[in-house]
Structure 1
Amino acid sequence: PGKRAALPKGMILQVQYDRSELVDRTIATVERNLGEGALLVAVVLLIVVGNWRAAFIVASVIPLAFLMMISGMHALGISGNLMSLGALDFGLVVDGAIVVVENTLRLMGEAQRLKGRELTADERRRIVINAAGGVARPVFFGMAIIALVYVPVLSLGGVEGKLFQPMAQAVMLALAAALIVTFTLVPALCARLLRGEKVRQPSVSEKEDSLPEITADNHITHNGGFAGLVIRGYRPVLDFALRHPAALLVPSAVLLAVALRIFLTLGSQFTPRLDEGSITAMVYKPVGMSLDRSLEIEQQTEREILRRFPQVTRTFSRIGTSAVATDPMPPNENDLYIFYKPLDQWPQGPDMPRNKSELVAAIEKAATALAPEQSFLFAQPIEMRFNEMLEGTRADLSVKIFGDDYDVLERLAAQAREELQGVPGTANAAFEAASRTHSVVVEINHDAMVRLGLGTAEVNRAIASAIGGDEVGFIADGEHRHAIVVRMPESLRADTKSILSLPLRVGASGLVPLDRVASLREMRTVEPILHDNGKRRAALMVNLNTSDIEGYVTAARARLDGKLALPESYRIEFGGQFRQLEAARARLMIVVPAALLMIFLLVYSALGSVRHAAVVYTGIPFAITGGVLALWLRDMPFSITAAIGFIAVSGIAMLNGLVLIDHINALRRKLPVIEAVRQAATDRLRPVLSTAMVAGIGFVPMAISQGAGAEVQRPLATVVIGGVLSSTVLTLLLLPAI
């Protein structure tokens, strides 16, 4: 308000572009996805557990762990945004609580069935202590494993580190908070709220002061409803898997091989493209165009866009030299910002654009028809700055040709541009800068100057004054001074005859025209000559209409290598977001194996057996199988966000495998191996199914969301949902068979 009041009458101050609008929309998407995910998790818990008290206890972990996570983020200076909260799944948060509550329900049900009466408060307390203690080790190690799988993300550096490290930190804080709540509040609530079910007749094996012995067939009687139905259907399938393990191992191995083959064809990108809700057009006009003419064309273009496209709400342009010294722009270039309505408010019609890409194509066609001398390179405001920060160019991809002779570089760049137009996935390709500028060279006749008594400085000063102008005075306007500049009119400044007729003062009163001592020659000169690390280069800016950036680069590189004959010491380099993908993948290729080794040692310390740890590790490839197939079915390329999804689902698979193997080892002390495996698989069916379902269901809102920022979350959620499905089958059928 204060700044507006200080403006002269008739002038208004208007915010043209505010990035906080996009931030607010993405935060709203995150909040909606988290809220819907939490609600779905609670509903699934109620259905699977079949006990509203137990479901309430598990669901209570969500708000408490979330608040503790937010407090930790505040203490560490991590902001809540699309990236930091993008991988948070409340299904992961409640996994440990599910195992504790399920074990408590199982032991309470067995004890109550054997005693034939309701348990006393003291008995419930003892059972809760035993139940929590019995699964403390696998739950702790399992949650630690899930946290450890995010360690590779913390190792990322550069831009990718700034983007994804907060995501890993937030998940690890949430898991730590959930672990604390799981072994403090959850047991206390179990002792207070869980009662068990009433039993009509006492069991002959009633024991008043001890927990029941576990047998191979006492688990169905205390499971009713959905859980009982699932268990009754699971037992025959489990028996078949135990009798015929090869019937599962062979198809699983084939499916794994198919998934690996599919993975190689998925394509790759750094991060999914975020729809910012606006368009930036980088407009290029002929070099040497005056600012007035450039501004006239730009105003005509904006009026035409607003007239032709009702989807567009407003436009504005940045043209001419910026006040920011780091963002120079000649008069022939400008950035055109285009803002449009939400897609559901677009008018429908046979000739109307139906999506953003069609709108961009239609705008380019209309603007080019209006002023054929201008060309366009389309992007988004933040995306453009992001690309510029990464590689110094504003496009998705830059193709740089290095060499010594600029004429050769210019020829090679033109050939490369023509070849790239034929590569599938090219939206448009443009030169980074106009390579040639129309210039007029003044060639001085020194003999004529000597005869007339003129010096070179006098000739240069006369030309500079006529074309560039001389300040001859000023006009005072209060505290402001406005310079008076005299020069030739614009229509004459490009006219060689007018320039040659410039008068030069000779002696005290004589005047001679410029053509007496000089001649003019028109030519096209190089401006500017660009360098990288002291090496001359020409560059192309390429925007893509494909999400498979890595696949495009591979195809483009092969085409250019086959079509362009590079002289010795000349080379081609590709730059852009895919370089960050390569850097992140190279780092992960080193860090991920190291993290997996640490996790293996952790699993080994929990189970005390290399063989058992290896069995738990079989969950990783089969979890990845489901994630790959899910990406393929949804036609999504591999990206860093998808990689984080693979990391998360690997941790879930190992958690469930660890819980099952640990229970098998406990039962082997009392039962034969086959009976122990059968009993453990049945006992852990409900917790494994619950953890898998809530982990997958918690990501469903992210997987199907269409809000701002959902593009970044969808690959991660898709991988987790697919991986959870395949890893659950492994844990419940293949792992017992192994």
Structure 2
Amino acid sequence: MLLKESDKNEQADNEDPYKGVLFTVFRWSLELALKLRWLTVAGMIALLVSAVMAFGLVKQSFFPPSNTPMFFVDMWMPEGTDIRQTLKQTEKVEEYIQSQDNVEFVSTSVGQGLQRFMLTYQPEKSYEGYAQLQVRTTSRDNMFELLHKLDGELAHQFAAPTFQLRLMEFGPSPASKIEARIVGPDPQVLRDIAVQVEDILLADPGSRNVRHDWRERTKQLVPQFNESKARRLGISKEDLSSTLQLAFGGNTIGVFRDGTQMLPIVTRLTEAERVDYASLQNISIWSPMLQTYVPVEQVIDDVTLEWQEPIIQRRDRKRTLTVLADHDVLGDETAASLFARVKPQVESLPLPAGYTIEWGGEYESSKDAQEAMFKSLPMGYLLMFIITMLLFNSFKKPLVIWLTVPLSIIGVAFGLLLSNMPFSFTALLGLLSLSGMILKNGIVLMDQINLELESGKDPYLAIVDSAVSRVRPVSMAALTTILGMIPLVFDAFFGSMAITIMQVLALQQY
């Protein structure tokens, strides 16, 4: 109904089908490029070099955040806080967040992370001073407004805990975006190195939530066991430990069944006696040599107050202290930009013999993903090149086609810079997938040139006529793809991939 029918006649059949404005302009620019072919090649090489240099200015990112208007608030109380005190503080924080505008619900987990509800979510381990709040808002825009408000007010409203705001992500979600793992044998040396790393991170204005996973040291009363006195009484250090545990910590002596629930039966001193230091003088321990109970003080010279390591993390059986930090999730900077600034400074720190620094976080996840992908990529490209060689029964013609593939970097670099979007893992997948479309266009054009040459045309005319005859189908295919990508430009996850594909195809048509 939209296409008008026209009467066909002999004169129309003899008319040139490529006399329109599009074909005329394209033919003129093509002939000019062929006439100044060395200048054209030099210009493309210059553009490629400038694009590679400009690519260093493009923001780098591994995986973009999820579109779901949901975020996490990790709350850390000082190490050694009782879980009941953590629960009371969490209830106050939950009530405060729930009272904010545009909040649909708040779910809370105290003592450990939430149950794993999606593949890329990594729950936090069990800590008495830890709680995690999951907040869902009415929309993504309202979520960032609430994040800005909480970022400025949570620390002022609640002085005891520290907070970490985290967005929900599609990709791997490590404990923090930047992780510096310090490996070595001595805990004190590990903490000293960690202080230097933390100072570097804190000096950078773009860093947030700087901390380490060994947490704060805690105070502990340590009995000084006298082995010579204890040996005469037949008492071992294990006997003393069991007695003190029974008195102050408690031992499970049975289980009470209440319907389908089983509750442990614990025997220990009353709470008033457990928190009283003087109770130690009233505790007795069994002596096998005397066959009677003797005061605990007979095998203890003194009780000293010492700082203890409450948490010692290990990786591959080696003591590993991890310094954690995040970028500003509400800012325009990515974690890769912050990492690029602090990495040289951290690696330049002098380390004692036997101590090393390894990098985790987003850097490690991105590196592992790219290594896994690029491991099989060369073989795939080799097979594609062999297929094009067999298709044309030549080495030179496929090589000419493949030399156009690196030019796609021009569209990627300038497209992402103009749109201020990061080069993420999805953008990388889009760039790799475009190589197939670029090769397809080259194969179609080369095949048409071969047909024109076989018909007896001059090589120059064969190139010009083939390019002019293929400009419409190739342009229409690219245009439909670009139009199809427009809705994805505004998507948080696929935005960088859409910009990559659109810019490369637009440049190719140019």
Residue 726 of structure 1 aligns to a residue whose secondary structure is helix
Residue 17 of structure 2 aligns to a residue whose secondary structure is coil
Q: Is the 8 A contact 2:63 2:170 kept in 1?
A: no
Structure 2 equivalent of residue 358 of structure 1: 148
2:341 aligned with 1:558: no
Question: For residues 617-667 of structure 1, what are the alpha-carbon distances to aligned partners after superposition, in whole Å with 9 as ceiling and x for unaligned?
Answer: 232122331122111212233332212221222222222222222212212
2:331 aligned with 1:540: no
C-alpha distance in 2 between matches for 1:451 and 1:404: 36
| Bigger proportion of residues as helix | 1
Structure 2 unaligned residues grouped into runs of 5+: 116-122
Question: For residues 670-720 of structure 1, what are the alpha-carbon distances to aligned partners after superposition, in whole Å with 9 as ceiling and x for unaligned?
Answer: 33233323322222121121112112222121123xxxxx32311211111
* 1:614 Cα deviation from its structure 2 partner: 2.9
Quick one: which of 194, 212, 226 aligns to 1:413? 194
C-alpha distance in 2 between matches for 1:666 and 1:659: 11
2:313 aligned with 1:530: yes
Q: Is the 8 A contact 1:547 1:637 kept in 2?
A: no
C-alpha distance in 2 between matches for 1:359 and 1:528: 33
Counterparts in 2 of 1:417-428, with a 5 A limit?
417-423=198-204, 425-428=206-209
Counterparts in 2 of 1:307-318, with a 5 A limit?
307=99, 309-318=100-109
Shift in alpha-carbon separation, 1:273–1:560, aligned structure 2, 3 A: same
* 1:570 Cα deviation from its structure 2 partner: 0.9
Shift in alpha-carbon separation, 1:501–1:296, aligned structure 2, 3 A: farther
Structure 1 equivalent of residue 165 of structure 2: 378
C-alpha distance in 2 between matches for 1:673 and 1:459: 98
2:49 aligned with 1:202: no
Question: For residues 114-171 of structure 1, what are the alpha-carbon distances to aligned partners after superposition, in whole Å with 9 as ceiling and x for unaligned?
Answer: xxxxxxxxxxxxxxxxxxxxxxxxxxxxxxxxxxxxxxxxxxxxxxxxxxxxxxxxxx
2:132 aligned with 1:335: yes
C-alpha distance in 1 between matches for 2:43 and 2:232: 99
* 1:575 Cα deviation from its structure 2 partner: 0.7
C-alpha distance in 2 between matches for 1:336 and 1:573: 30
Shift in alpha-carbon separation, 1:323–1:692, aligned structure 2, 3 A: closer
Structure 2 equivalent of residue 569 of structure 1: 354
2:448 aligned with 1:674: no
C-alpha distance in 2 between matches for 1:464 and 1:327: 29
Counterparts in 2 of 1:633-648, with a 5 A limit?
633-648=418-433
2:445 aligned with 1:665: no
Q: Is the 8 A contact 1:276 1:380 kept in 2?
A: no
C-alpha distance in 1 between matches for 2:88 and 2:162: 15
Structure 2 equivalent of residue 235 of structure 1: 27
Q: TM-score, normalised by structure 1?
A: 0.60
* 1:230 Cα deviation from its structure 2 partner: 2.1
C-alpha distance in 2 between matches for 1:247 and 1:451: 98
* 1:551 Cα deviation from its structure 2 partner: 4.2
Structure 2 equivalent of residue 299 of structure 1: 91
C-alpha distance in 2 between matches for 1:370 and 1:618: 60
Structure 1 equivalent of residue 119 of structure 2: none
Q: Is the 8 A contact 2:77 2:161 kept in 1?
A: yes
Structure 1 equivalent of residue 487 of structure 2: 701
* 1:360 Cα deviation from its structure 2 partner: 4.7
Q: Is the 8 A contact 2:240 2:285 kept in 1?
A: no
Structure 1 equivalent of residue 182 of structure 2: 401
Shift in alpha-carbon separation, 1:331–1:492, aligned structure 2, 3 A: farther
C-alpha distance in 2 between matches for 1:529 and 1:361: 30
Structure 2 equivalent of residue 466 of structure 1: 247
| Bigger proportion of residues as strand | 2
Q: Is the 8 A contact 1:421 1:428 kept in 2?
A: no
Shift in alpha-carbon separation, 1:52–1:618, aligned structure 2, 3 A: farther
C-alpha distance in 2 between matches for 1:684 and 1:433: 65
Which residue identity is paired with 2:64? Answer: P
C-alpha distance in 1 between matches for 2:464 and 2:237: 101
Q: Is the 8 A contact 2:69 2:140 kept in 1?
A: no
C-alpha distance in 2 between matches for 1:505 and 1:419: 52
C-alpha distance in 1 between matches for 2:145 and 2:114: 35
Structure 2 equivalent of residue 429 of structure 1: 210
Between Structure 1 and Structure 2, how many residues are aligned?
496
Structure 2 equivalent of residue 219 of structure 1: 17
C-alpha distance in 1 between matches for 2:434 and 2:232: 89
* 1:430 Cα deviation from its structure 2 partner: 1.5
Residue 685 of structure 1 aligns to a residue whose secondary structure is helix
Structure 1 unaligned residues grouped into runs of 5+: 1-50, 54-195, 207-214, 222-227, 347-352, 389-393, 705-709, 730-738
Which residue identity is paired with 2:60? Answer: S
Shift in alpha-carbon separation, 1:322–1:248, aligned structure 2, 3 A: closer
Which residue identity is paired with 1:554? Answer: A
Quick one: which of 687, 709, 734 aligns to 2:473? 687
* 1:457 Cα deviation from its structure 2 partner: 6.8
Which residue identity is paired with 2:364? Answer: R
Q: Is the 8 A contact 2:66 2:492 kept in 1?
A: yes
Which residue identity is paired with 1:421? Answer: L
Quick one: which of 255, 275, 278 aligns to 2:70? 278
Amino-acid identity (%): 21
C-alpha distance in 1 between matches for 2:202 and 2:91: 30
Question: For residues 400-424 of structure 1, what are the alpha-carbon distances to aligned partners after superposition, in whole Å with 9 as ceiling and x for unaligned?
Answer: 1011111100111122112112235
Shift in alpha-carbon separation, 1:433–1:311, aligned structure 2, 3 A: farther
Residue 406 of structure 2 aligns to a residue whose secondary structure is helix
Structure 2 equivalent of residue 718 of structure 1: 499
Q: Is the 8 A contact 2:326 2:335 kept in 1?
A: no
C-alpha distance in 1 between matches for 2:394 and 2:420: 41
Structure 2 equivalent of residue 613 of structure 1: 398
Structure 1 equivalent of residue 508 of structure 2: 727
* 1:376 Cα deviation from its structure 2 partner: 2.4
* 1:251 Cα deviation from its structure 2 partner: 2.8
Quick one: which of 387, 401, 407 aligns to 2:173? 387
Structure 1 equivalent of residue 120 of structure 2: none
Q: Is the 8 A contact 1:645 1:716 kept in 2?
A: yes
* 1:591 Cα deviation from its structure 2 partner: 4.2
